[in-house]
Amino acid sequence: MKQKLHIFFRRVSSANQDLATQIEFDRPYRELCNKEQIVEVNEDDTSANKLSVAQRPKITEIINLIKEDKVEKVYAYERTRLFRDYYEAQEFCHTCIEHNVEIIYTSSSNGHMGFTGDIFIEGLLNLFGDIEGKNIARRTVEARRKYPPKKYGYVKTKQKTYQKAAKTEPSLTQFFEEIQQIDSLELFNSFLSKYRKVLAKPDDTLIRIATDPFYAGYDLHEGEYQLPHVDPFITKETFLQIQGQLSPLIKAYIANIQKLQELYIDYPKCGYCLKSLRPRFNSDRTEVYFSCSKGHTKVYYDTVSINEATKEVIEKIIAHLNVDRLLVDSSNRMKEIKRMIKKEQEKTEVLLKKAEDSILFSKEGYDQNWCERQDYQEILSLQKDCLLFVDEINKKQQLLIENKQLHQLTVEAIEKQAELNVRALCDLLINDVRLYEQSIEFDVNKCDYIFNLDNEITLHLKESVS
């Protein structure tokens, strides 16, 4: 009978943790095994805390081997290397006990309790592992809230107290005094524009400061913790009063900003240097614009004027679009493509079945390098092919759905005089948009079905200055 396997499992939950320790600790055990019995499994960069067993293929592989009675012992540095989740750990122990597999914790000599083989005691120990894992994550967040490594406006002393930084104290004090008076969006806007300059911070940071109870010397995230190590700028009562006044204003402010940023199309490019442009705010935050002047004449458009131009172009396209023909053509083409892909798919499935059978009925049995065996590799590549076919069909299907959508949107717009769904139509009809000094150029999709119209539509928007 073939000798059973010894699996050496190691895991590092972040790249900088040292795998060497775990290798060093299981070395004495490896030296006791025959070479062909040893399977080493290194799981890199996987946090057992975040991923389930199903998302950790190497663990799944080990479990399968255990269930096939191919394993004698599993080695891990300590319980938490294998699992952080209680239920997963319990299930694993259960499987091991059922299949007579011993678990060795290589750090046992290091004060860690070895595998007991008793499901009840293992349950308790795994429970600690689980709680410990979750606690580490929670404690870190909590500690950072109460003792942040850095906090704007404060100096952290060696005694872990937070003192107001002399440089920013006057302006922050002023900041908290003024913010108490704000009760309208207008005031809020001018407050932000003032402190954007005074504190040299962007709006989201200013809002974060205004809504952070740390400045009142409290942690209010879960319950109420006074932070005696913090020298506060305001009292807790003032803080709460500010939050009450501010929260509807912050909501309105964010809604307004989102509206300004709204664009029917994806971000446009500069027509001269073809750089992808990013939206920017003007100084008083009343406008979002795209601009470029990289060694060429300046391009400048705000979102409102780009949207107007886009709407005009979409209306133009729709008036020239033969959606009925588009739909008939694409449905026919889809049927044809599907038939072709199905044929290929069936061929591949037959090959796959053959390859699987050859492994299943082979006399070679299990060996350490089974992953590298040619027939196994072949199965993998055939499986990949099968997935590609499914993918291909889905993509074509998506295209058909898009054409149907386009048909519907166009018919609605023309026949029912419905409000144009410009954004959806842009997704379907516009490929690329380029901004020039006095014109905007739109690359149009589905050109074969647009009559008497160029593939590129140029809108001249601004009067020539010269």
Whether residue 139 contacts residue 103, with contact meaning beta carbons closer than 8 Å, is answered with no
In the bound state with Zn ion, the residue whose beta carbon lies nearer, of 71 and 440, is 440
In the bound state with Zn ion, the residue whose beta carbon lies nearer, of 298 and 325, is 298
The residues pairing with 29 across neighbouring beta strands, listed in sequence order, are none
Which part of the chain contacts Zn ion (CB under 5 A), choosing from 4-12, 28-36, 290-298, 311-319?
290-298
In this structure, what token pair is assigned to residue 137? 């994550």
CA 343 to chain CA centroid, Å, is 37
In the bound state with Zn ion, the residue whose beta carbon lies nearer, of 254 and 273, is 273
Burial 271-282 (b: 16+ CB within 10 A, else e): bbeeeebeeeee
What phi-psi label fits residue 217: left (phi over 0), alpha (psi between -120 and 50 degrees) or beta? left
Supply the minimum distance, in Å, between the C-beta of residue 41 and Zn ion: 52
Query: Distance between CA 323 and CA 448 in Å, rounded?
Result: 11
- Closest-CB residue for Zn ion? 270
Whether residue 167 contacts residue 153, with contact meaning beta carbons closer than 8 Å, is answered with no
3-state secondary structure of 255: helix
Backbone angles phi, psi at 30, to 5 degrees: -65, -35
In the bound state with Zn ion, the residue whose beta carbon lies nearer, of 124 and 273, is 273
Q: CB 180: neighbour CB atoms within 10 A?
A: 14
Supply the minimum distance, in Å, between the C-beta of residue 296 and Zn ion: 6
Determine whether 213 is exposed, middle or buried from the number of CB atoms within 10 Å of its CB (0-12, 13-18, 19+).
Answer: buried
Q: Is 273 in the site for Zn ion (CB under 5 A)?
A: yes
Q: Which residues contact 113 (CB under 8 A, 6 or more apart)?
A: 105, 125
Supply the minimum distance, in Å, between the C-beta of residue 278 and Zn ion: 12
In the bound state with Zn ion, the residue whose beta carbon lies nearer, of 273 and 340, is 273
In the bound state with Zn ion, the residue whose beta carbon lies nearer, of 21 and 438, is 438
Query: Distance between CA 126 and CA 156 in Å, rounded?
Result: 38
Supply the minimum distance, in Å, between the C-beta of residue 434 and Zn ion: 10
Q: CB 332: neighbour CB atoms within 10 A?
A: 10
In the bound state with Zn ion, the residue whose beta carbon lies nearer, of 49 and 458, is 458
Which part of the chain contacts Zn ion (CB under 5 A), choosing from 200-208, 287-295, 329-337, 370-378?
287-295
Q: Indicate which single residue of 27, 67, 221, 294 sits in contact with Zn ion (rule: CB under 5 A).
A: 294
Supply the minimum distance, in Å, between the C-beta of residue 394 and Zn ion: 37
In the bound state with Zn ion, the residue whose beta carbon lies nearer, of 275 and 347, is 275
Supply the minimum distance, in Å, between the C-beta of residue 458 and Zn ion: 17
Which part of the chain contacts Zn ion (CB under 5 A), choosing from 166-174, 267-275, 427-435, 456-464?
267-275
Ranges of beta strands (E only) in 114-256 are 154-156, 162-164, 218-219, 225-226
Half-sphere exposure of 456 (CA within 13 A, CB side): 10
Q: Is 435 in the site for Zn ion (CB under 5 A)?
A: no
Total residues at interface with Zn ion (CB under 5 A): 5
Sites for Zn ion among residues 114-153 (CB under 5 A): none
Q: Indicate which single residue of 39, 227, 270, 425 sits in contact with Zn ion (rule: CB under 5 A).
A: 270
In the bound state with Zn ion, the residue whose beta carbon lies nearer, of 294 and 395, is 294
Supply the minimum distance, in Å, between the C-beta of residue 440 and Zn ion: 14
Which part of the chain contacts Zn ion (CB under 5 A), choosing from 26-34, 167-175, 264-272, 359-367?
264-272
Q: Indicate which single residue of 272, 289, 301, 389 sits in contact with Zn ion (rule: CB under 5 A).
A: 272
* Cα distances (angstroms) measured from residue 113 to each of 19, 30, 59, 87, 103: 21, 20, 22, 19, 12
Which part of the chain contacts Zn ion (CB under 5 A), choosing from 16-24, 181-189, 265-273, 419-427?
265-273
Supply the minimum distance, in Å, between the C-beta of residue 289 and Zn ion: 14
Closest CA to 178 of 195, 199, 163: 195
In this structure, what token pair is assigned to residue 237? 């009562």
In the bound state with Zn ion, the residue whose beta carbon lies nearer, of 292 and 450, is 292
Alpha helices for 199-322 (secondary structure H) = 203-210, 236-261, 303-319
What type of residue sits at position 70? K
In the bound state with Zn ion, the residue whose beta carbon lies nearer, of 292 and 426, is 292
Q: Is 318 in the site for Zn ion (CB under 5 A)?
A: no
Q: Which residues bind Zn ion (CB under 5 A)?
A: 270, 272-273, 292, 294
